Every structure is written in structure tokens, then in C-alpha cells.
Amino acid sequence: MLLDENPLTVNNQVVYAEGVPFSSFGMATSTWTRRHILSLADFTPSEYNTVLQTAVSFQEVLSRRTKKVPTLQGLVVTNLFFESSTRTRSSFELAAKRLSADILNFAPGTSSLTKGETILDTAKTYLAMGTDMMVIRHKEAGVPQAIAAEMDRLDVKVGVLNAGDGQHEHPSQALLDLFTICTLLDPERPQLSLLEGKKIAIVGDVLHSRVARSNIWSLTASGAEVHLAGPPTLLPKWFREFAKGKELGVRLPRASADGSQESEDREGRGDGEDWGEIQNSKFGSVFGELTRAADSPEAKIPFGSTQASQSVSRRGEQNSPTSQSSIPYPPLVRKLFLHWHLEPALKDADYVMTLRLQKERMTSHLLPSLREYHQLFGITRDRLNLCQPNVKVLHPGPVNRGVEISSDLMDDPQFSLISQQVTSGVAVRMALLYLMGVSRGL
């Protein structure tokens, strides 16, 4: 909607002579108000679907002869990678370039970070250069949140995207995983509901994995069963309660459509806190074998109040080409299970996600050896026989061949989605940068 009204986008359409008009980039994008993408814990189904649909449009762009669109022309995207990374940074860099943004890269090796400069100083330096969006990675949790809060406090409308913070979250990775799986099921209209009833195993070092945490939120939001598997040292009992109190609800639209939400944004509480209430009910996760009835979610989760449902559908209808997004979403119990053995997690699984195992886990008494880990939790061809016949395997990379997954399996296109994940990454990250642009009134 914003795009249609903006004269600049009329010009933009000329550039797309080859393809679809710009306005078809996504349906509900005009309702995208999330300035920062820091965590998936409070993402709503309609937000997931908006990301998926937008990414489809950009994937189409990436299949053209000219793979570049002027969407973010004139905007500056800064990669603030306090923790070094090549793969994710390259993916974001390419995504920003495809959107015609100018891109700055901050590399810790060459910076003054070691001497006195705080993380906020660094962020403000790039802000002063005119940065519009920051893509942030840090080896400790919470840094993107801190910078987002500071940007909101300064009232500068800079969007922050969490590209991995410590062991906390890595939203863009989880969204590209979601996109990879959903496009496999329906290349034209990937959407969250396609995963309903599917069984997805996440195997390995869940404790230290930001990818796993983001994936738990997105995959459980779809109505899929998520089964975590790993040794107790890498999958602590506490994960039973991971999703407790985090039922997925209907996001209530804020106040009214009279601009009050704008001003609320400016107040700058920022990182998702100023989202409308999530309708919660009592219990979150359904626990697997480790749980004895205790927390049984027998308490029936009520559907969202009619008021909430109505307002959502009203919003959804605005310019949604899909009928799907106008259906109200009932609050949904996240289905999360824990396994300290691999077999029950793999049994009849539709998808298996393996996680990278850091070699240094051995020094902190978490594992006896990589060899034993592979024996117990390594994904091999034999073990995939437990799964559904057409099971697919994902890995966020980089892979320790022969540890998390056997080497030949990783290269087998019948099972492995690893290269599709990397390809999807660019389209999904383009979608995220674009949506953040929408939220700031592109």
C-alpha cells in the first residue's frame, strides 16, 4: 500500500519491465510494522507468512537476468559483525546489494573495539554515517537488543536485524530454513500452515545453538511437532519448559488506525515490546517422553476472542491476494518434545535439522569424544530409515563432516537441503531488509 502511494515506486516499476509490478511484492507487507527483527519468540503467523511470500517474490527476482531491484536505493545497510562471520555476512551483503542498498561492513579485527569503545559507540559511528539498517552479530546474547533500544531512544528510526547473538537467536537462519521447507511443499505459495502436523527433529547441541532457538519458535508456530534430540549435557531438562507461557496467539492490533501506533513507535520501546498483546493461555509446550503428565495441556486453549479475530481478518483483507491470511488464527499450543535418545526423535520424521557441534565442547566436560557423539547422534543413511521415506535433512552450516552428519549424506541431493538453504538465504534476507524498509516508511 505504501509502495503504491509513493511516486518513487512508480518509477521503480519501470525498472521491473521484465517482471511483475512492484506492488505484488507482498500482500500484507503494508501491515508490517516491526522495525527490528531481533527474535522470533513473538512472531505471529501472519508475519511468518508475509516473510515467506515476500521471499518468493525476491526469489523470482533472483531468477531474472538482471537480479537487482532498486527497492532500497539510497539506503545504507551496515553489517556490524562483532563476531566474525563470512557466510552470513556475505549472504546479507549480497541481499542488500540486490536491493541496491549501499552496504558498509564492520569487521572487529580492524576496529577499535578492544580499546575502550563501547558497542553503542560503534553503532553510533555508523549511525552518524547515515546508516538506515543495521545487521548485527555478536558472540554474546542481547547486543542487537541493546543497540536497537539505543536507536529507539535516539529516535532515529534505524532498524536492527539480529544476525546471531550468542546462544540466543538467529532469526534470519530460522526464516530461511522455514522458507526452504515451505517452498519445497508449495513453491508458489509457501506458508506456515503447510507444516501443520509435520514432524521435525532438531538434533545435536541445542544448548549452545541460536539457530535451534529461533527454529523452535518458527516451527512450533506452524503447528508442526518439534522433537529435540541430544545428550542431556547439550539438551538440558530445562528445554521442557522452553515454550511455556509462549503460546502463539492472535496479535491484537494496537489502539486504532489513527496514527497512534506511529507515535508509540517513536517512543521507542523498540524491540517487540510495543507489539499488541499476545493472547496467551496457560500452557505452552507439550512434553515428550521425559514429561509425566504434570503439565498436561488438557486445559483447552480457547480460540481468540471474536473481537481479536475480527480485527485481524479486517486487517488481513486489506490487500491480501491470498485468502489464507484473512483467516483468523486461533491461539496455538506449541508442540515441543525432548529426547535423550535419537531414535524416537527420528521415528517418522519429515525433516531432520542437525546442528553444528563446536569442537571445544569436549573441554567443558559436555562430551567424552566426537566419536561417541557421532555414534549416538550422528545422522547417517541407516538412521534416516527410521524417518518418512522422503525425509529431508537440513544443517545451518558450516558442517563438521562425519560428526553431525555423515559425509556422503550431506552431498546426497535426495536427502540434503543444505545448498538450498544457502540459496534461500539471499531471498529471505532480501525480504527481511525490504520489510524493515517498509516499517520505516520506505
Question: Is residue 363 a contact point for another protein (CB under 8 A)?
Answer: no
Instruction: Determine the Cα–Cα distance for residues 65 and 75; give it in Å rounded to an integer.
Output: 24
Closest CA to 353 of 141, 209, 159: 209
Residue at 227: amino acid letter: H
Residue 427 contacts residue 179 (beta carbons within 8 Å):
yes
166 binds another protein (CB under 8 A): yes
3-state secondary structure of 368: coil
Interface segment toward another protein; rule CB under 8 A; list 28-36, 50-58, 114-122, 334-342: 114-122
* Shortest distance (Å) from residue 41 CB to another protein: 7
146 binds another protein (CB under 8 A): yes
Query: Measured between alpha carbons, how far is residue 82 from residues 97, 164, 165 in Å?
Result: 21, 10, 10
Examine residue 167 and tell whether it contacts another protein (CB under 8 A): yes
Name the nearest CA neighbour of 49 among 28, 34, 78, 63. Answer: 28
> How many CA atoms lie within 13 Å of 176's alpha carbon, on the beta-carbon side?
31
The alpha-carbon radius of gyration of the chain (Å, integer) is 21
Cβ proximity to another protein: between 239 and 434 the closer is: 239
> How big is the site for another protein, counted in residues (CB under 8 A)?
30
Kindly tell me which of 140 and 372 has the beta carbon lying closer to another protein. 140
Give the x-and-dash track for 217-236 against another protein (CB under 8 A). -------------------x
Read off the DSSP letter of residue 365: T
Q: Decide: is 141 part of the binding site for another protein (CB under 8 A).
A: yes
Kindly state the smallest distance separating residue 364's Cβ from another protein, in Å.
7
Which H/E stretch holds residue 390? none
Q: Using the rule CB under 8 A, is 165 a contact of another protein?
A: yes
Among the candidate windows 113-121, 175-183, 188-196, 391-399, which touches another protein by CB under 8 A? 113-121
Residue 125 neighbours by CB under 8 Å, 6+ apart? none
**Binds another protein by CB under 8 A, chosen from 98, 213, 227, 315:** 213
Instruction: Determine the interface stretch with another protein among 23-31, 239-247, 373-381, 424-432 (rule: CB under 8 A).
Output: 239-247
Tell me whether residue 95 or residue 161 sits nearer to another protein (CB atom).
Answer: 161
294 near another protein, rule: CB under 8 A: no
Residue 288: which H helix or E strand, with range?
A: none
Does 5 help bind another protein (rule: CB under 8 A)?
no
CB 164 within 8 A of CB 39: no
Question: Residues 6 or more apart from 275 whose CB is under 8 A from it?
Answer: 34, 42, 251, 254
Closest to another protein by CB, 357 vs 430, is: 357
Nearer to another protein (CB atom), residue 84 or residue 118: 118
Of 228 and 436, the one with the shorter C-beta distance to another protein is: 228
What is the C-alpha to C-alpha distance for residues 358 and 294, in angstroms, rounded to an integer? Answer: 34
- Does 169 contact another protein by CB under 8 A? yes
Of 160, 183, 184, whose CA–CA distance to 172 is shortest? 160
Q: Which helix (H) or strand (E) element contains residue 210?
A: helix 210-221
Q: Among 241, 264, 274, 295, which residue sits at the site for another protein (rule: CB under 8 A)? A: 241
Residue of 110, 323, 364, 369 that binds another protein (CB under 8 A) = 364
How big is the CA angle at 374 (ends 369 and 379), to the nearest 5 degrees?
A: 160
Q: Shortest gap between Cβ of 442 and another protein (angstroms)?
A: 29
Residue 207 near another protein by CB under 8 A? yes
Amino acid at 137: R
**Given 35, 36, 89, 138, the residue binding another protein (CB under 8 A):** 138
User: Facing residues of 165 across strands?
Assistant: 138, 169
Instruction: Give the x/- contact pattern for another protein in 408-437, rule: CB under 8 A.
Output: ------------------------------
Q: Which is nearer to another protein, 96 or 355 (CB)?
A: 355
Name the segment binding another protein (CB under 8 A); options: 140-148, 332-340, 379-387, 406-414. 140-148
With respect to another protein, which residue has the nearer C-beta, 336 or 394? 336
Q: Which amino acid is at 401?
A: R
Place of cell 559436555: 366
List the alpha helices (DSSP H) in 63-160: 87-98, 119-128, 143-154
251, 275 contact by CB (below 8 A): yes
In whole angstroms, the minimum distance from the beta carbon of 239 to another protein comes to 6
Q: Please give the Cα distance from 342 to 235 (Å, whole number).
A: 12
- 295 makes contact with another protein (CB under 8 A): no
Taking CB under 8 A as the rule, which mask of x and - marks residues 53-82 in contact with another protein?
------------------------------
Binding site for another protein (CB under 8 A): 41, 116, 118-121, 138-143, 145-146, 165-169, 207, 210, 213, 236, 238-242, 244, 364
